[in-house]
Amino acid sequence: MVKKPRQNWTLHERGAVSDMTINSNKPIARPSKAICDCHVHVFETTEAYPFENIPVYAPPYSPLSRLRETGDTAGVSRFVLVQPTPYGRDPALLLASLKTMGNRAKGIAVADASITPQDLERLQQIGVVGLRFIENLLPNGQRMPGAVSVDVLIEKLAPLLKELGMHAEIWGPLTRLTDYWPKLDKIGIPVVLDHMGGVDVALGLSNPDFLNLLARVKEGKIWIKLAVCRRGTGDNGFGAVRPFHDAFISANSEQLLWATDFPFVKYATTPPKMPDLIAIFRSWVKDEAVIDQILVRNPITRYGFARDQG
């Protein structure tokens, strides 16, 4: 079932503020250790939450309960819920998930230039801290259904995000993002890059685009999500990704966030497991102060989680 896209919705129309719940999830206890996975997705049945767009991949059934169970197994207690493209600009499932998770989750929504300041502020009140923009194109060169371009961020939404103290998250290959640096430098809001900034590990550490990105991380201009599974696969190992991972940490560990991209949609080989990914991170970093900074303290700074458990 695919729902026909709808223009100019409001949160009051959708009932997002007053009555969204996920009844299958029990109340959540306060975590003892606030490790945060900064990039995960939730997918419900299409009967409960129809898609706004026809998906370009086969979305899994991966409800909030599965995420919580997986996090418990891995020792991860906080999450940043990122709006998947099949849901487009419809925030219903995201907001319901945030309400259920309470202080254990923050959200990254999707909106285009038609969103009003009032609706964006209502999203923020429920736990949305930023908007996502995508420059990752399909093989035919078309933009992914449900994606909003970085141009919309720069030309329309950056002032509104700045006014509300929100940030932008961007997904795309580094080769495309490089062209946006001069304009992104001027928008005056924090920018977080998904999936290790879209680096192509085949181009090596000396690639000029990567060196440029690394310099921006060092200067504190860009945040990076260390989602190694999107730069390599478990079947051929993540060894090729490690030099880039190490380079980011050496450049500026204060600008880094750990992420998995659970539940690993469109994964080319056998998907990794969250406990294995966090074990890889710990084995690569080793310095406990840096581990704590990236897993616990940086998400507090960037996403506004409470400090009492950090």
pLDDT of 28 reads 39
The model's confidence at residue 255, banded by pLDDT at 50, 70 and 90, is: very high
pLDDT of 9 reads 38
Cis peptide before 263 (omega within 30 of 0): yes
Lowest-confidence region among 6-15, 68-77, 252-261? 6-15
Asked whether residue 6 is assigned to any structural domain, the reply reads no
Domain count, the chain: 1
The model's confidence at residue 20, banded by pLDDT at 50, 70 and 90, is: very low
CATH of the domain at 69: 3.20.20.140
Distance CA 226, CA 223 (A): 10
Asked whether residue 106 is assigned to any structural domain, the reply reads yes
Asked whether residue 240 is assigned to any structural domain, the reply reads yes
Lowest-confidence region among 89-93, 144-148, 191-195? 144-148
Asked whether residue 278 is assigned to any structural domain, the reply reads yes
Tens of pLDDT, residue by residue over 31-81, are 346 999 999 999 999 999 999 999 988 999 999 999 999 999 999 999 999
pLDDT of 229 reads 84
Asked whether residue 16 is assigned to any structural domain, the reply reads no
Average pLDDT over residues 191-199: 95
Residue 243: which domain range? 34-303
pLDDT surpassing 70 at residue 206? yes
pLDDT of 17 reads 33
Asked whether residue 3 is assigned to any structural domain, the reply reads no
Asked whether residue 28 is assigned to any structural domain, the reply reads no
Average pLDDT over residues 122-137: 95
